[in-house]
Every structure is written in C-alpha cells, then in structure tokens.
Structure 1
Amino acid sequence: MTQPGQWGDLRNRLISGAAMAAAGVVLIWLGGPWFTGLAALVSGVMIWELSRIVVPAKKTEAIVLGLLGAVAVLAAREVPGVYALPVLAVPALLGVALLQRTPLIFMAFALGILVAGYGLSGFRDAYGVVWLFWLVLVVIATDVFGYFAGRLFGGPKFWPRVSPKKTWSGTIAGWVAAALIGLLFRSFTNAGPDLPWISVALSLASQMGDIAESALKRKMGVKDSSALIPGHGGLFDRFDGLLGAALFMLLVAQLVYVPEVRF
C-alpha cells in the first residue's frame, strides 16, 4: 500500500533526470571532444564527491582531487593507450596520500570512476553512438522501473544490510525493463539475438554499482554524495548505476568481439 509522501521526491527527480538525460543525449550524439569533455567533467565531479564522502572535512583536498580527476581523463585520451592507466592512477594515488582514510576503498572507487570516464569516451569513438544509447537506456530503464515497482509493490528486500530501500520486486522489474530495451534495439539495429539477455546482465551490473555506492555511504555514515542535483543528491548518487554498467561493458569489450552497431 502506498504511503503519504511516498512519491514526494518524484517531481524533482523527473525534472532533474530529464535535464540530465537531454544534455547527455546531445553530447553523446556529438561525440568527439564534446563527449570526452562530458566524461571528464562527470568523472571529476564524482571524484570530488567520493573525496567528500571519505573525509568530509577536507574540502580543499576534495576540490583538488576532483580537478585532477577531470584533467587525468582528458590527458589519458591524448597519450598512447599503454600510458593511460598510469595517468588515471595519479588522482587515486594522490587521494590516498591526502585523505589518509580507507585507502583501498578510495583507490578502487576512484580508479573505477576514472577508467569508466576514459573508457566510455574511447568506446564512443571506436564503436559508434548506438552502443552508448543502449547502455544509457538500459541503466535508465533499470532505475525507473525499479523505482516504481519497488514503491508500488514493495515486498522482500534485495540486500537490506547494504541497501535498505532496494526490493526484489524493483530488482526484477529492472531486469524485465532491460530485456525490453534489448528487444527494442535488436528490432531496428544489426545487433545480434543475444542482446536481450546481455541487457539483463548489464542491468544487474548497474544495480551492483548502485549497491556498491550505497555500501560506501553506509560505511562512511553519509546519506548523499552531495546536494548538486535536486531529488537525486549528487552525480555519484545518480551515476553509480551507470558506473557499474559501464565498467561491465568495457570489460566485456576486452574479452569478446564487439561489432559497430548501426541503425
């Protein structure tokens, strides 16, 4: 049964979500330096938020690390591939030295953020725009269907110790939505017949990204990564699922052949 105020954050979530989606679609479509700039900006902001989650009092250090994270993504795109990881590792290593708290956790999340930003920018150039739209739509569908199904149906929690609000009904609804996105893209592109179940796997990776960030905030005693986005908290709160899905997609691309998908 729905409760009063259950949908109280919906209006802000819809407005800010629509604005971010519109900006993202345009910049993904433009590609090149436009999308690289977006990836660097988002990565830098997420590094800033991560630093504030780990040590809220070190505000100056968080700003420095955020700026360095954005620069690292841009710089990594300009060097030969073999040098990209060392460049991306610089903000993570400096953060360990400056913040001096949970070093392994900070480094793992920081490297994940920076590798995803760098990797998505290169992936867009190498494989075209369709895969990026597929990725974003699977993540959005997982989040939206999971949100509404969880609020409407409730039921047993998926992982209550880590993410108290996430239910099995919302989780499964996200998988169904992802499969539908896969079927939709298979219908008007040259993607293969495996796309629906791959979409479900991507949906699960997105949910794991969400849970990983929830676990981090729970460990650090933080509710939101920041207050940048009305109804959503911070970019890390909004893009945690995209981070998990992106890392999964980039890993798969290293293991199997990924064709350029066309309309």
Structure 2
Amino acid sequence: MSASSRWADLGPRLGIGFIIAVIGLACVWAGGAVFLILTVLISACMIWELVRMLDRSAPAVPLAVGSGGALLVAGLLPAGYALPLLIAPVFVGFSQMSQHRATYSVFALMIVLAGFGMFILREQFGFAWMLWLALVVMATDIMGYFAGRFIGGPRFWPRVSPKKTWSGTIAGWIGAAIVGAIFVHFTTSTYELVGISVAISMASQLGDIAESAVKRRMGVKDSSNLLPGHGGLFDRFDGMLGGVVFLLLVEQLIDFPPGVVIGL
C-alpha cells in the first residue's frame, strides 16, 4: 500500500470527526432536553441504517421514527416505566423484518439502550463523566487509526475488517488508559478508573468489530451515506455503542466513578 493511499481517508475522517465532536460536546454541555434530542436523532438514524442494511423490504423510516419516539418519551419518564417502552419497538421491528431478525433485534436493542444510557449518564453523573466516556472512545479510535497505519503488523480479523491491526488495537487501549489517568489527576477518582477506561476501550472496539461483521455479511461498505464520503452514523458511533452498553452492564457491579461522590 502506497503512502498516499494509506492516508487517503485522513482528511474526511478528521473533518467529519471534528464536526461531530463539536456538535456532540456542545449538546453534552447543554444536557437536558438538548442532549436528549441529540441521542434520539442519532439512535433513530442508526435504526434506519440498520434496517436498510439488513432488509430493504422492511419499513425503515417508520421503525426509526417509532424507536426515536419511544426513546424521547422514555427520557421523560422514570427508568422503571421507560425500559419496557424502549424495548417495545424492537418487538415491532422483529415482526416487520422478513430476514435477519435476530441480528436486528440484538443491534436495535443495543442502540435504544445506549441512547437511553447516554442520557441517564449525563443526567446522573454530569458533564465531566459523559465527557470522559466520549474521550475514551475517541482516544481508542484515534490512537488505533494512527498506530495501525504507522506500525501496521498482524491483522486483528482480516476476513471481516482487513484494516484493523493488533498494533492499533493495543494503541487504543493505551489511549484510553491515558484518558483515565488524566481524569484521575483532575478529579477525586482512584486509579481504578484507568482499568475501567481500558475495559470501555475494549468494549468500544468490539462494537466496531460487530458492526464490521454485519456490513461484511450484508456486502456493504458503509451503513449509509448520511456523512458524505464517510459512511453513516452507525459507522461513526459503533464504538460508542459498545462502550455505553458495557458501562450500563457493569455500572452496578463496580464503584463508578471509583472514589467519587456524585452530587457533593
């Protein structure tokens, strides 16, 4: 691979990444209804992309609107009432798919739970810890991208994702650990946060790999063309999807944020 082709996607990647980061951080900072609307829009678009990838005959727009609407209402309700409302659109989508129902159900459930989880994380823990999560996922992606191209080496799963290398994978963990260490320095958190950051990094990489496997199976390069020349929202938020779902699963099993008393 020539040097020019190796870095051919750098410009679009940085440009789109910068725009997404600015909009995302502004909405995270605002919190409340602004951040809820952002999570609803992103989740609905990801559902639309998922349905179009898996089954072109299924009603992608109604399923996306229904899932987004459920997430919007769920954000205004206590969690106990919100959860069945979030899962209901997954059942509706399952009944409307003529193929790949199991794949749809798993990913659709992850998308709506991740959207809801990000909103709850922002509401309960505040801007700083939503920022930590975003930076961990971003550091994983950025470090993995540059290490994979500078260092190269053995491929992680060449049949599914030929550009992903072990060097990039490990570099992503290192980037996440650095983010965790920085937050330890500027907060009252303990160094357990470094380990949690690395685990979130691993989960985000699994989210990326899982989406790559679906695209490979369906014979598509990108989830959509919503981001011109740079794929779809599913392509950009697959890592966040894995990271958020993982954090939701383990949040009750660990002291999170470790050593930090929220609200004091």
With normalisation by structure 2, the TM-score equals 0.94
Contact 1:128 1:260 in 2 (8 A): no
Q: Deviations over 1:49-102 (max 9, x none)?
A: 0001101354xx111111111111111123332232221122211111112211
- Equivalent residue runs for 1:195-210 within 5 Å: 195-210=193-208
Q: Which residue does the alignment assign to 1:19? A: 19
- Equivalent residue runs for 1:92-171 within 5 Å: 92-171=90-169
**For this pair of structures, how many residues does the alignment match?**
261
Q: One-letter code of the match for 2:196?
A: I
Q: Higher relative CO (CA 8 A, sep ≥ 6), structure 1 or 2?
A: 1
Q: One-letter code of the match for 1:163?
A: S
Q: Which residue does the alignment assign to 1:185? A: 183
Specify whether residues 203 and 261 from structure 1 end up closer, same or farther in structure 2 by C-alpha distance, changes over 3 A only.
farther
Contact 2:177 2:198 in 1 (8 A): yes
Contact 2:224 2:232 in 1 (8 A): yes
| Cα distance between partner residues in 1 of 2:18 and 2:226 | 15
What secondary structure sits across from 2:3 in the alignment?
coil
Give the CA RMSD over aligned residues. Answer: 1.7
What secondary structure sits across from 2:7 in the alignment?
coil
| Cα distance between partner residues in 2 of 1:113 and 1:5 | 33
Post-superposition offset of 1:220: 1.3
| Cα distance between partner residues in 2 of 1:225 and 1:73 | 21
Q: Deviations over 1:175-221 (max 9, x none)?
A: 11111111111111111121112111111001000001011111111
What secondary structure sits across from 1:5 in the alignment?
helix
Q: Percent identity?
A: 51
Q: Which residue does the alignment assign to 2:60? A: 62
Which of 211, 216, 219 does residue 217 from structure 2 map onto? 219
What secondary structure sits across from 2:251 in the alignment?
helix
What secondary structure sits across from 1:158 in the alignment?
strand
With normalisation by structure 1, the TM-score equals 0.94
| Cα distance between partner residues in 1 of 2:229 and 2:197 | 27
Q: One-letter code of the match for 1:108?
A: V
What secondary structure sits across from 2:227 in the alignment?
coil
| Cα distance between partner residues in 2 of 1:261 and 1:220 | 44
5+ residue gaps, structure 1: none
5+ residue gaps, structure 2: none
What secondary structure sits across from 1:4 in the alignment?
helix
Q: Which residue does the alignment assign to 1:86? A: 84
What secondary structure sits across from 2:67 in the alignment?
helix
Which of 242, 247, 252 does residue 240 from structure 2 map onto? 242
| Cα distance between partner residues in 2 of 1:193 and 1:2 | 41
What secondary structure sits across from 1:164 in the alignment?
strand
Q: Deviations over 1:146-197 (max 9, x none)?
A: 0111111111011223322110010011011111111111111111121112
Contact 2:57 2:98 in 1 (8 A): no
Contact 2:70 2:86 in 1 (8 A): yes
Contact 1:138 1:178 in 2 (8 A): yes
Q: Which residue does the alignment assign to 1:32? A: 32
Q: Which residue does the alignment assign to 2:227? A: 229
